[in-house]
C-alpha cells in the first residue's frame, strides 16, 4: 500500500469535527498506509497517550500487536481497489504507551469519495478484557499477560462451556471474596446459586453475541456493568463497579426532580435563553404572569416582548456578560398577551462553557409592577413635599432654602461654562411704616401682590424669584450680563410702582415702591456663591442711601479676569 490518501476533515468550528473530537467512543481517522491523521480524546485516554500524541503515527507499526496486522493490512489493500466499501469488525491487540497489550473490538469503516476513490478509514475501538486467541485454546495465561490482567481496575474472568472458572484476575477474586484457587474449575452457579445474572450468561452462550447489562447486586450492595463475550471455549466476562456513577445519576435525577418541582410550583417566571435571545425553556408561571403558555414562548426571542423604551438599555446591560460577569439584576417592562405593560425584575445568570464562551442565560423573573407604581407614587409625593419645603407659604414663590440651593447649582454650572450670573436683591421701601399704618394683614397682601407681579415677569426657566427675607425678595438671572440685569431691575421697579398700592406714610412716593441692588459676576471655583449675594446686598444698601425707589449696581471691573486662584 504505497498510495497515500489524506482525509480532509472539517475544521474545529465544524460541529461534526467537535462531535468526533469529544465523542466517548475511542475513534481515529487512518489513511490507507496506516497513518493516523486524527485521533479523538477518548482514544488517547484508552491507550494512555497525551493529546495529540497519536497524530501522524502509524497504526500498523506502532499500535497493533506485531502478530495481528496481517488481516488488517490485507483489508486495507483490498479497499483501495474495491468499487464499494466493506465494513470490518474484528478483535485485535493494541499496544498502550506503557507497553501493555489491550485486546480491542475494532470496527473499521472505509469512506469513499463520490467518484468511488478511497478517502480514509474510520476506526472505532471498544475496550474488551479478552484472552488472546492462542490463549483461548491452551486455557493458560502467560505470566506477563497475567500481570497485565491483574493490573486492571475492573474484574475479569473466563468460564468454559460448563460455566466453570478457568481464569480470574485479582480484582475478580476480590469481587467474589474468594481466592482464585477456590474458584478455579468450579461452576459459577454452584458457587453463587442465587445469582440473578444467570439468564444473561445463558443468552450470551446460546446466541454467541456480546451481551451488556447493568444490574444491582444484592450480595455486594453495588451496581455493576458487565459485558459477556462469547468464545470458542466459553465466555469471557468483564465486570465494572458503577455504583458511584449510578449514585451520581440518581442524585442528578433527584436534583432534576426537585428543580422541576420548584420550577413548576414557583410563582416566579424561570426561563433559559440562548446567547441570541431565543427562549429555550419557559416555566408554567408564564401563563399567570404574561398570559402566554410556555409553548407559545419557547422558540421566540424574548426581546420581542420587551418594551421598545427598554430594549436598548437592556441589550447594553446584557452585553456586559460576554466573559466578564456571571450574574446581574435588571428591571424592565414587557408586554403581556393582553397588551398591558408589566414591570419585571429579573435575576440573570450567565452560562459559560469550559472555554469561557457564553452559551446562554438562566433568568428568574417576578412581577414588580405594583412596587414600581408605589415607587413612582412615592417619588411624586417626595417631589411635591420637596417643592412645598422650598416654597414660601405666603407668597407662593421660592423660599430662602430654595434660593440657596438654586444659587449653589447655578454657581457651579456658570463656573464650568464661564458665563455671567446676575442677582437682584430688592426691598419694599418703608415697609415697616406700611405695616404700622395699614396692619399686618394688609402688609401680607401687599407682599403677595408684589411677589406675583415680579414672578409674572420671569418664567421659571429664565429666572428664580424667591423670598430672601421679611420684605426682601431675590431674582436670580442665569446667563445674564450686568446691562440686562439692570434693565430687568428697572422693569421691576416700574412695574411695582404701576401697581399703585397706596402708601400714605411713605416719604418718597404716595404708592408702594422698591429699592433694588444688582450684581453680576463670572462664578469661579475659587470663590463662594456668597460673593454675589454680598455684592448685591451692598448695591441695595447704596440704592436706599441714595433716596430709595431706585436701583444701584455693584461695580466689578473685569471680575472674570481677577477671579482666579491666589498666586
What DSSP letter does each residue of 203-255 carry, written as one string?
A: HHHHHTS-EEEEEEETTTTEEEEEEEEE-SSEEEEEEEE-HHHHHHHHHHHHH
Of 259, 302, 260, nearest to 279 (Cα)? 302
Catalytic residue among 137, 375, 471, 498: 471
* Euclidean distance between CA atoms 402 and 465, whole angstroms: 10
Q: What grid cell was written down for 2?
A: 504505497
Neighbouring CB atoms inside 10 A of 296's CB total: 14
Q: Are 120 and 30 in contact (CB under 8 A)?
A: yes
The angle that helices 440-457 and 482-499 make with each other, rounded to 10 degrees, is 140
Active site residue 471: yes
* Euclidean distance between CA atoms 34 and 248, whole angstroms: 40
Q: What grid cell was written down for 327?
A: 450574574
Can you tell me whether residue 366 is helix, strand or coil? strand
What DSSP letter does each residue of 146-200 carry, written as one string?
A: HHHHHT-SSEEEEEETT-BEEEE-HHHHHHHTS-HHHHBTSBHHHHSTT-TTHHH
Neighbouring CB atoms inside 10 A of 15's CB total: 8
Q: Where are the beta strands (DSSP E) in 368-486?
A: 421-428, 464-467, 472-478
Beta strand 234-241 with 118-127: parallel, antiparallel or unpaired?
Answer: unpaired
Q: How many whole angstroms from its chain centre is CA 525?
A: 44
Q: Where are the beta strands (DSSP E) in 55-145?
A: 88-95, 101-112, 118-127
* Euclidean distance between CA atoms 55 and 65, whole angstroms: 19
Q: What grid cell was written down for 514?
A: 422698591
Please, how many CA atoms are within 13 Å of residue 216, restricted to the half-sphere of its CB?
A: 6
Q: Are 497 and 511 in contact (CB under 8 A)?
A: yes
Name the residues annotated as catalytic: 471
Amino acid at each position: 500500500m504505497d498510495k497515500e490518501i489524506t482525509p480532509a476533515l472539517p475544521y474545529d468550528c465544524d460541529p461534526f469535527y467537535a462531535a468526533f473530537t469529544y465523542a466517548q467512543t475511542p475513534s481515529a481517522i487512518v489513511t490507507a498506509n496506516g497513518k493516523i491523521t486524527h485521533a479523538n480524546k477518548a482514544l488517547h485516554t484508552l491507550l494512555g497517550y497525551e493529546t495529540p500524541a497519536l497524530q501522524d503515527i502509524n497504526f500498523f507499526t506502532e499500535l497493533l500487536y506485531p502478530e495481528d496486522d496481517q488481516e488488517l493490512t490485507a483489508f486495507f489493500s483490498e479497499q483501495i481497489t474495491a468499487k464499494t466499501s466493506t465494513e470490518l469488525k474484528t478483535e485485535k491487540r493494541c499496544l498502550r504507551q506503557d507497553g501493555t497489550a489491550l485486546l480491542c473490538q475494532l470496527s473499521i469503516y472505509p469512506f469513499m469519495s463520490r467518484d468511488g476513490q478511497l478517502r480514509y478509514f474510520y476506526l472505532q475501538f471498544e475496550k474488551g478484557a479478552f484472552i488472546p486467541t492462542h490463549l483461548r485454546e491452551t486455557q493458560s495465561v502467560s505470566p506477563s499477560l497475567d500481570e497485565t490482567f491483574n493490573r486492571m481496575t475492573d474484574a475479569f474472568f473466563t468460564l468454559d462451556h460448563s460455566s466453570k472458572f478457568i481464569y480470574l484476575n485479582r480484582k475478580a477474586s476480590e469481587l467474589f471474596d474468594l481466592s482464585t484457587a477456590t474458584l478455579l474449575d468450579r461452576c459459577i452457579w454452584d458457587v453463587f446459586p442465587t445469582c440473578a445474572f444467570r439468564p444473561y450468561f445463558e443468552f450470551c452462550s446460546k446466541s454467541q453475541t456480546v451481551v451488556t447489562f447493568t444490574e444491582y447486586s444484592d450480595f455486594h450492595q453495588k451496581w455493576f456493568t458487565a459485558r459477556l463475550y462469547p468464545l470458542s471455549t466459553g465466555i469471557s466476562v468483564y465486570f465494572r463497579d458503577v455504583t458511584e456513577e449510578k449514585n451520581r445519576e440518581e442524585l442528578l435525577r433527584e436534583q432534576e426532580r426537585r428543580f422541576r418541582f420548584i420550577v413548576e410550583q414557583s410563582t416566579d417566571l424561570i426561563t433559559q435563553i440562548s446567547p441570541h435571545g431565543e427562549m429555550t425553556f419557559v416555566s408554567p408561571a408564564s401563563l399567570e404572569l404574561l398570559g402566554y403558555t410556555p409553548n407559545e414562548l419557547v422558540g421566540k426571542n424574548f426581546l420581542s416582548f420587551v418594551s421598545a423604551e427598554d430594549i436598548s438599555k437592556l441589550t447594553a446591560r446584557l452585553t456586559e456578560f460576554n466573559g466578564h460577569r456571571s450574574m446581574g439584576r435588571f428591571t424592565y417592562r414587557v408586554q403581556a398577551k393582553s397588551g398591558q405593560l408589566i414591570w419585571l425584575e429579573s435575576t440573570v445568570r450567565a452560562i459559560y462553557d469550559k472555554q469561557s464562551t457564553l452559551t446562554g442565560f438562566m433568568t428568574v423573573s417576578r412581577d414588580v409592577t405594583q412596587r414600581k407604581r408605589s415607587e413612582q407614587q412615592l417619588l411624586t409625593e417626595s417631589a411635591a413635599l420637596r417643592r412645598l419645603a422650598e416654597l414660601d407659604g405666603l407668597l407662593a414663590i421660592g423660599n430662602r432654602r430654595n434660593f440657596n440651593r438654586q444659587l449653589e447649582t447655578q454657581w457651579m454650572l456658570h463656573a464650568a461654562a464661564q458665563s455671567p450670573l446676575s442677582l437682584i436683591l430688592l426691598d419694599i421701601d418703608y415697609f415697616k411704616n406700611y405695616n404700622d399704618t395699614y396692619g399686618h394683614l394688609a402688609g401680607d397682601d401687599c407682599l403677595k401682590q408684589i411677589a406675583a407681579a415680579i414672578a409674572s415677569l420671569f418664567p421659571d426657566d429664565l429666572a428664580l424669584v424667591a423670598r430672601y427675607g421679611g420684605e426682601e425678595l431675590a431674582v436670580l438671572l442665569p446667563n445674564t450680563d450686568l446691562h440686562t440685569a439692570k434693565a430687568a431691575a428697572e422693569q421691576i421697579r416700574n412695574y411695582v410702582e404701576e401697581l399703585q398700592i397706596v402708601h400714605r406714610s411713605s416719604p418718597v412716593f404716595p404708592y408702594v415702591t422698591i429699592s433694588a441692588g444688582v450684581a453680576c459676576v463670572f462664578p469661579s471655583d475659587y470663590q463662594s456663591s456668597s460673593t454675589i449675594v454680598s455684592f448685591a446686598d451692598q448695591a441695595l444698601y447704596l440704592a436706599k442711601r441714595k433716596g430709595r425707589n431706585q436701583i444701584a449696581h455693584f461695580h466689578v471691573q473685569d471680575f472674570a479676569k481677577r477671579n482666579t486662584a491666589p498666586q
